[in-house]
A and B are shown apart, each in its own frame.
Chain A
Amino acid sequence: MGDLFLDVRGIAKRFGENVVLVGVDLAVPRGSVVTVLGKSGTGKSVFLKCLAGIVRPDAGEIRFDGRPLNAGDAECRAEFRSRCSYLFQSNALLDSLTVLENVALPLESTTQIPNREIRERALEALRQLDLEKHWDRHPGQLSGGMQKRLALARAIVTRPELVLFDEPTAGLDPLRRNAVFQMIVKYQRQFGFTAVLVTHDLPEALVSSDQVALLDGGRMRFQGTPAQFNASDDPTVRSFRDSAGELRDTVAALRRGETIENRNDL
Chain B
Amino acid sequence: MTRVLGKYTLRIVRELGDFGLFTSRSLAAAVGSRKLGRRVVRSIYEQGVRCVPVIMIVGLFTGLVLGLQGYYVLNKFGSSGLLGTLVSLTLVRELAPVLAALMLVGQAGSALAAELGIQRNSEQIDALETMGADVHAYLISPRLIAAVLVFPIQTAFFCLIGLLGGYLSGSVVLALQPGVYWSAVFHAVHPVDVRECMIKAAIFGLLTIAICAYNGFNAHRRTSASGARAVSASTTRAVVISSITVLAADYVITSFLV
Q: Which residues of B contact A105 (CB under 8 A)?
A: 128, 131, 133
Q: Is the CB–CB distance between B127 and A94 below 8 Å? A: yes
**Smallest CB-CB separation from B125: which chain A residue?**
A92
Interface string of B115-131 (1 = CB under 8 A from A): 10001001110111111
Binds B, one of A81-89, A211-219, A221-229: A81-89
One of B119, B122, B126, B131 near A106 (C-beta < 8 A): B131
**Residues of B66-119 whose CB lies within 8 A of A:** 115, 119
**Smallest CB-CB separation from A157: which chain B residue?**
B131
Q: Is the CB–CB distance between A85 and B35 below 8 Å? A: no
Q: Is the CB–CB distance between B123 and A108 below 8 Å? A: no
Q: Is the CB–CB distance between B126 and A109 below 8 Å? A: no
Q: Is the CB–CB distance between A88 and B35 below 8 Å? A: no
Q: Which residues of B contact A250 (CB under 8 A)?
A: none
One of A78, A90, A93, A95 near B132 (C-beta < 8 A): A78
One of B115, B122, B131 near A90 (C-beta < 8 A): B122
**Is A110 in the interface zone, CB < 8 Å from B?**
yes
**Is A52 in the interface zone, CB < 8 Å from B?**
yes
**Is B34 in the interface zone, CB < 8 Å from A?**
yes
Q: Which residues of A contact B122 (CB under 8 A)?
A: 90, 92
Q: Which residues of B contact A85 (CB under 8 A)?
A: 130-131
**Smallest CB-CB separation from A102: which chain B residue?**
B127
Q: Which residues of A contact B130 (CB under 8 A)?
A: 52-54, 81, 84-86
Q: Which residues of B contact A94 (CB under 8 A)?
A: 119, 124, 127-128
**Smallest CB-CB separation from B119: which chain A residue?**
A94
**Smallest CB-CB separation from A54: which chain B residue?**
B126
Report the 5 A-B pairs with minimum CB-CB distance, sorted nearest first: A109-B133, A92-B127, A81-B132, A92-B123, A86-B130
Q: Which residues of A contact B124 (CB under 8 A)?
A: 92-95
Q: Is the CB–CB distance between B35 and A108 below 8 Å? A: yes
**Residues of A81-137 whose CB lies within 8 A of B:** 81-82, 84-86, 88, 90, 92-96, 105-106, 108-110
